[in-house]
Each structure stands twice: as C-alpha cells, then as structure tokens.
Structure 1
Amino acid sequence: MKPLLLGAVLLAAVAGTPAQAGDVPLVTGEHWTKASDSEKKAFLVGVANVVSVEYELRKDDRRSRPGMISALVTNLQPLTLTEISKGVDDYYAAHPDQTARSVISVIVTDVAKVQPRKK
C-alpha cells in the first residue's frame, strides 16, 4: 500500500463514503514506516476523533465501567500528536520485525500503555 493511502482512508471516512468490511485496510508498521509526517499526523487525527466520539457516546456508561476508551483518553491527552507519532516511530525502529503489527495496537499498548483487562 502506498503511504498516501493513509490520508485517502481518512478522507474517505470524512467524506462519508460507506465502507464495507474489508474495504479499509488495517494500518500496520509497514504503512507507517513509509508514510510522511503529514500522513502520520492525519492518521492520528482520525484516531483521536474516533476515540473522542466513543468517549462522548459512553459518557454515562464510563461512570460505572471506565474501560479502554477512558484509559486511552486519560493516557494520551497529555501527549501531542508529534509525541504520539514519535512513540510509534520509536516502537517500529526498536522492533523492525514487528511491522505487521497494527499501528493502533502500538498506540494502545506501547504509547498509551493501556493493558487489556483479563476476562
């Protein structure tokens, strides 16, 4: 996938293009490491918007069950987009064998340091 696809995926989402399951590729380290700084920040803005919407939609629910979205907001809020991008860059630089891992997974567990609850 070309790096410009990161921006195109976000533009399609913003434009309201209906996506079918499997239409939108999962962005991995393979895409991230080839993307420009602008494309990386565009991706992060998209992620931030999705997290913000989920946070607001779960406003009443989070009082009784904080969950991952609240933890993401709490842990990422003090960071700038540049710092989050650098955290992802640093992860893939330190783990070149992990480029198949999704960027969102890296953001959640390695940048925001949110660990999924054990069931």
Structure 2
Amino acid sequence: MEYVMAIKPQWRTLFSVTFLSLAMMGNVARAENIPIVTGQQWMASSDAEKKAYLVGIANLLDVERAYAGPTANSTDIAQRFGKGMQGQTLDSVRQGLDNYYASHPTMVQHPVIETLWFQMVVPGLNKNP
C-alpha cells in the first residue's frame, strides 16, 4: 500500500503533462475539454498520429528524468517506464498497442496510457528486474 501511495503523485504528473502535450499538438483547448485518449481513438488514428502520441510520451518521460536529475531513483515513474520499455521501438510499441486493442475489443474504452503501462511496461519490468 505504501508503494501505491508513493506512485500516485507521479502518475498525476505523467497524466497532466501527457494531456498538456496533446492539447499543444492540436488546436488550443481549454483544460476541461482535453479528452483522455482511449483505444477507440487509437485504433481510428493513422500510424503517423500514433507515433506522434508515443513521441509525446517519450518526451514527457525525458522531461521528467531531467527534472528529477541526480535525485531520481529506480521507483520514479520515468525510470520504471524506461526500464519496462527497454528494447522497444516506436514501431514495436505502436504494433503492440494495435495488436492488444485488436485482440481485446472490449478494452477500447480504456486509456492508451493505462494500456501501455499494464500491457507493456509492467511485463517489461518483470523481464528486466
């Protein structure tokens, strides 16, 4: 339980910056109008749009790592994300998400960032302890 409580502020930061990045990529939107990108939007997007989303996530994690600086530790969200995604490319992540949503159509209402975390990062952490 203590571990879960320690991650919550980092998740809030991750989601906040992700949504801010998405708002900046499209038309300027008011904060309350920024949607959560779900599998439904993911599957309706072009490969270029999917890659842009993933590049935004990668940039967000780079900013988080830079902000944490030398005080970062292995429990920081950006560090865990990086370790869990070790060996992945933009194309392999895009294809992994495509495959997941195609084979789990009932999950398309779930946020892409949640799917990315639980279907790719967490299993990657188990492979790369």
2:57 aligned with 1:40: no
Give the conservation status (yes or no) of the 8 Å contact 1:51–1:69: yes
Task: Find the counterpart in structure 2 of residue 117 from structure 1.
Answer: none
Scaled by the length of structure 2, the TM-score of the pair is: 0.69
> Tell me, what secondary structure is at the counterpart of 1:57?
helix
In structure 1, the gaps of 5 or more residues are: 1-8, 115-119
Q: How many residues align?
A: 104
Q: Measured at CA, do residues 22 and 11 of structure 1 come closer, stay the same or move farther in structure 2, by a change above 3 Å?
A: closer
2:95 aligned with 1:69: no
Root-mean-square deviation over aligned CA pairs: 2.5
Q: How does 1:47-86 map to 2 (within 5 A)?
A: 47-63=57-73, 66-86=75-95
Task: Find the counterpart in structure 2 of residue 23 from structure 1.
Answer: 33
TM-superposed deviation, 1:66: 2.4
Give the conservation status (yes or no) of the 8 Å contact 1:33–1:89: yes
Give the conservation status (yes or no) of the 8 Å contact 2:101–2:107: yes
TM-superposed deviation, 1:68: 2.1
In structure 2, the gaps of 5 or more residues are: 1-19, 124-129
Output one character per residue of 1:1-34: Cα deviation in whole Å (capped at 9) or x when no partner: xxxxxxxx8575259x5x5432321100010011
Scaled by the length of structure 1, the TM-score of the pair is: 0.74
Q: Measured at CA, do residues 27 and 50 of structure 1 come closer, stay the same or move farther in structure 2, by a change above 3 Å?
A: same
Whole-Å separation in 2 of the counterparts to 1:59 and 1:77: 20
Whole-Å separation in 2 of the counterparts to 1:68 and 1:24: 23
Normalized per residue, the structure richer in helix is 2
TM-superposed deviation, 1:82: 0.3
The partner residue of 1:110 within 92, 100, 119 is 119
TM-superposed deviation, 1:81: 0.2
Task: Find the counterpart in structure 2 of residue 13 from structure 1.
Answer: 24
Provide the identity percentage.
33
Whole-Å separation in 2 of the counterparts to 1:88 and 1:72: 16
